[in-house]
Amino acid sequence: MPISRLVDPLFLILVATGLGLALSGGDWSYRARRSKVGRALAWSAWLALWLLSMPWVSSSLARRISTPPRDLRADLAGTPPERRVLILLTAGIDADEFGEPAMERQSAAGLERSLGAVRVYREHGFGHVIISGRDVQRAPTELAGSMADLLVELGVPRKKIILETEARDTRENAIHAARIARSLSAERAVVVTSAMHMRRSLRMFERAGLDALPAPVRFQSLPPDGVERLFPSSLALYRSQRVVHELVGLLEP
């Protein structure tokens, strides 16, 4: 196991917190109900944090809610490429502090989705590519435009790309992208987004009246076997946070 795993800040904090709770037994009055409840809550919170930070737990949860990749050839058969539309959902973008090109400031999820969209476009062919979403803290076209620039660099004709820059969340992605797809008289629509985000996205597109096919990217692999998968890590905790975010999103009416 790499030494870096043993010096992960989250792991060290959890170990220190656990030792502190264990050694503070003499300072807690078990006779007082408040102390008993407080100690139970503290240990419960510590245990929950440890579990959600375990790579094995976070990976398993992520895989459980993610949509696995599938072969789209059978679903797209019989539909001319020019009557297909590819819908790419944006992720995030950093502020321009040092004059870097916008496509280099995309979030990791945005880069993964862009690369996945190029692969799907090359494999199947599409009449149009709709890039949907905006960052309300940035210029309206900055986020979608950064993904468009990357797609063009990788071979997607710019004339086929349509920027949808009104959507601020997944629900609005579906509403606005579905409207554009219908205006193009598209017979088939394929959505590209993160595997963990796909289930919620398809639900929103269904509510928007568009029957879309999934082309998920970045399906979570299982952690390596061995004791390392039981050691908490900051990355695993972030992954669990994304799982919780998606689960809460699925509750949206």
Rounded to whole angstroms, the Cα distance separating 129 from 159 reads 9
Which range of 16-30, 36-50, 122-136, 237-251 scores highest in mean pLDDT? It is 122-136
- pTM (2 d.p.): 0.87
pLDDT band at 4 (very low <50, low <70, confident <90, very high): low
Residue 215: its H or E element: strand 212-217
How large is the C-alpha radius of gyration of the chain?
A: 22
Comparing 23-32, 151-160, 220-229, the range with the smallest average pLDDT is: 23-32
Cβ within 8 Å of residue 71, ≥6 positions away: none
Per-residue model confidence (pLDDT) at position 44: 82
Residue 91, pLDDT > 90, answer: yes
Per-residue model confidence (pLDDT) at position 35: 65
Locate all alpha helices (DSSP H) within the chain, ordered by sequence.
Answer: 3-6, 9-23, 33-52, 55-65, 73-76, 108-124, 142-153, 170-183, 195-207, 234-250
% pLDDT > 90, the chain: 68
Residue 101 has phi, psi (to 5 degrees) of -60, 145
The first and second tokens of residue 251, run together, are: 């509750």
pLDDT band at 47 (very low <50, low <70, confident <90, very high): confident
Cβ neighbours, 10 Å, residue 78: 8
Q: Sketch the domain layout of the chain as residue ranges.
A: 3-64+227-250, 68-217
Rounded to whole angstroms, the Cα distance separating 230 from 201 reads 31
Cβ neighbours, 10 Å, residue 98: 6
Residue 133 · residue 177 · CB < 8 Å? no
CATH superfamily, domain 68-217, is HUPs (3.40.50.620)
